[in-house]
Amino acid sequence: MITIKQAAAEFLAKKRIAVTGVSREPQTHAANAVYRRLRDRGYEVFAVNPNADEVEGDRCHPDLKSIPGGVEAVVIGTRPEAAEDTVRECVALGIRQVWMHRLYGSGSVSEKAAAFGREHGITVIEGGCPLMFGPTADTGHKVMRMALTPAGRLPRRVEVA
């Protein structure tokens, strides 16, 4: 087990990151905010949505396997029911870092998908947002991190696969 800050640092040390669930309607989706921030901070970021050819002015991929050159990490920003398929694809592709986004409610967290990922050597961060940490953080997300951690909405420790 490592702290959430350590897990976030390891995740954000990756430079090729896919974000699933990026929408054609960016105003209403957290995945779009994560995608934009990572792109703006110099990450090589890839949008994944099987129902879109383009989002945020960039090419969108239908799945992880269609990303040329692959990725090192994935932010899951879809419904929890879709997370298991994404984690299975990560296992097949050898991706070892997954972050299931959640600020409120269940977000994208699926306990079943997380357990499957860990069983197959993936470090899974279950909850919170990459924008709360390190080079991607802004004041608003830092405040959310401070509020959500004591409330138990953000994991304090992450199991390393």
Instruction: Tally the domains of the chain.
Output: 1
Q: Which domain holds residue 99?
A: 2-158
Rounded CA separation 50/28 (Å): 18
pLDDT in tens, the chain (161 residues): 899 999 999 999 999 999 999 998 867 678 999 999 999 999 999 999 999 999 999 999 999 999 999 999 999 999 999 999 999 999 999 999 999 998 666 788 899 999 999 999 999 999 889 999 988 888 888 888 888 777 777 787 888 87
Rounded CA separation 49/8 (Å): 24
72 within 8 A of 115, measured Cβ to Cβ: no
61 within 8 A of 47, measured Cβ to Cβ: yes
Query: pLDDT (tens digit, 9 = 90+) per residue, 9-46?
Result: 999 999 999 999 999 886 767 899 999 999 999 999 99
The domain that holds 132 is classified in CATH as: 3.40.50.720
Rounded CA separation 25/56 (Å): 9
- Single pTM value for the model: 0.92
